[in-house]
Amino acid sequence: MSSVLLLNLAWQISTLALVALGLAIVFGKLRIMNMAHGEFVMIGAYAPVITSMLGLPGWLQLPVCLVTVGPVAFVLERTIIRHLYGRMFDSLLATWGIAILLREIVELIFGRGYQSVSPPIAGTVCVFGADYPAYRIAVIIGILLGFIGLYWWNTRSKTGTRIKAMVGNPNLAEAIGINTARLSAGAFVFGCCTAGLAGLILAPTVRIEPMMGLDYLIRSFFALVVGGLGSLEGLGIGSGIIAGTQTFLGAVASQTYGYLAVLTLSILFLWLKPNGVRSSSR
């Protein structure tokens, strides 16, 4: 296996895990089948476009990203999503509508055209004897550190347990003093913000346009169900299987076979291991 293939695997797996992280919270914990997840990635990817349009310095990209994604997610949670807890298929339908809504709104503001964003780090570096884009190396390392931090926090924090308690029995959770409205809104907004962050990070390496979100949605769903809902390890394993299969088969056979293999694999996992390779519940 060539070192470029290894780096490609690392890049694809880590970025898929990052994109799917928000969905892991929203779908895995809140049980909202958020079909608008990709649209939050899309909005995040527009953050650098906004800063350069307004002539703001580059370091404001992250705040701009959070300030655009966060309130949008919060308003949607309070007006629409909060009616959908415990109604999984309804959540799928309503968020499909939300996805169209967000695409149309972004299109009204920025137009349908493609936007382009320059990476903050240009050029390639030599890693394991392969020339690889420096920005990608930085992102891989960043995501890895981020997930280690998240894992550490997750094992210590009670937030995950509280969310699980809330979804399992909202009335009881309320009775033992969990503010369910605040917790669910917080989890949803956090999930969407990580999606936006993923969009911001991916922006210099992909096309940016209102329809881009769909690319990320279905892969994220498959990564989650293959890995198993509700655990960080599951997210990592699922991303590894989905992105790994696509990248590996794309390299040794063809992209079409890679794509078909990912779908076939997803079907097999959904059929034979519906709770994923790793699962926190059950």
Q: In a 3-state reduction of DSSP, which class is residue 273?
A: coil
Minimum distance of other proteins from residue 77's CB (angstroms):
13
Residues 238-277 that bind other proteins (CB under 8 A): 246-247, 250-251, 254-256, 258-260, 263-264, 266-267, 270-271, 274
The C-alpha atoms of residue 79 and residue 279 are separated, in whole angstroms, by: 31
Which residues, including other chains, have CB under 8 Å from residue 256's CB and lie 6 or more apart?
Answer: none
Minimum distance of other proteins from residue 105's CB (angstroms):
8
Residues 22/37, Cβ–Cβ less than 8 Å: yes
Residue appearing with tokens 């089948």: 33
Interface with other proteins (CB under 8 A), residue from 90, 142, 152, 169: 90
Which residues, including other chains, have CB under 8 Å from residue 145's CB and lie 6 or more apart?
Answer: none
Interface with other proteins (CB under 8 A), residue from 96, 127, 233, 280: 96
Residue appearing with tokens 């550190």: 145
The C-alpha atoms of residue 108 and residue 101 are separated, in whole angstroms, by: 11
**Helix (H) or strand (E) segment spanning residue 131:** strand 130-133
Q: Residues 14-43: x/- map of binding to other proteins (CB under 8 A)? A: -------------------x----------
133 beta partners? 124
Minimum distance of other proteins from residue 149's CB (angstroms):
26
Residues 191-230 that bind other proteins (CB under 8 A): 204-209, 211-212, 215, 218, 221-222, 225
Q: In a 3-state reduction of DSSP, which class is residue 132?
A: strand
Q: What are the residues binding other proteins (CB under 8 A)?
A: 2, 4-5, 8, 11-12, 33, 80, 83-84, 88-90, 92-94, 96-98, 100-101, 104-105, 112-119, 122-124, 131-133, 135-136, 204-209, 211-212, 215, 218, 221-222, 225, 246-247, 250-251, 254-256, 258-260, 263-264, 266-267, 270-271, 274
